[in-house]
Structure 1
Amino acid sequence: MPRRTLVEALHVAAGLAAAVAITWAAAWSYPLGWDVIWWCGAGAMVATLLMGIGPLRRAWSEDKAVR
């Protein structure tokens, strides 16, 4: 995988890992709201993916232009 694309994919993966960790910690600390917290966390994960698509496509096109 080209360098720029790999860096952007790692940023998206790090964002997803952070969202999962924060969601898990919040759900663990407040068991009564477990289901609501996980739904909100899932929304944050989807938003992270959607926000990462543009930079990932840009990085991919820049990598293709360099080759």
Structure 2
Amino acid sequence: MRVAIEVVHIFIGLVAAALIGWASAWSYPRATDDIWLVAFACMAAVVLMGIGPVRRAYCDDPADLTRKSKDVANG
């Protein structure tokens, strides 16, 4: 479950960076290429900064990832 939460956080960060990049490019069209370059760099940074927490979440609770629905009481 923690892995999914961390991946959702990365996704939210990517969406936020894309929206900020879009709004910035819309508001200043003369620098659209430069703005998107910075936005893509920020998106790459979000992904790179999210790798560590995803790895920690995966290592902390690997049993949750391998558990089958028949292994739990409520199915």
Q: Please, what TM-score do these two structures have when normalized by structure 2?
A: 0.82
- How far, CA to CA, are the matches of 1:21 and 1:61 in structure 2? 32
- How far, CA to CA, are the matches of 2:10 and 2:54 in structure 1? 9
1:5 and 2:3 matched? yes
Q: Which residue does the alignment assign to 1:50?
A: 48
Aligned ranges 1:21-40 → 2 under 5 Å: 21-40=19-38
Tell me: higher relative CO, structure 1 or 2? Use CA pairs within 8 A at least 6 residues apart: 1
User: Of the two, which has the highest radius of gyration?
Assistant: 2
Q: Which residue does the alignment assign to 2:39?
A: 41
In terms of fraction of residues, the more helix-rich structure is: 1
Cα offset, 1:61, TM superposition: 0.8
Q: Please, what TM-score do these two structures have when normalized by structure 1?
A: 0.91
Q: Which residue does the alignment assign to 1:63?
A: 61
Cα offset, 1:41, TM superposition: 0.2
Which contiguous aligned blocks of 4+ residues in structure 1 show a shift greater than 3 angstroms?
none
Between the aligned residues of both structures, percent identity stands at 49
Cα offset, 1:56, TM superposition: 0.5
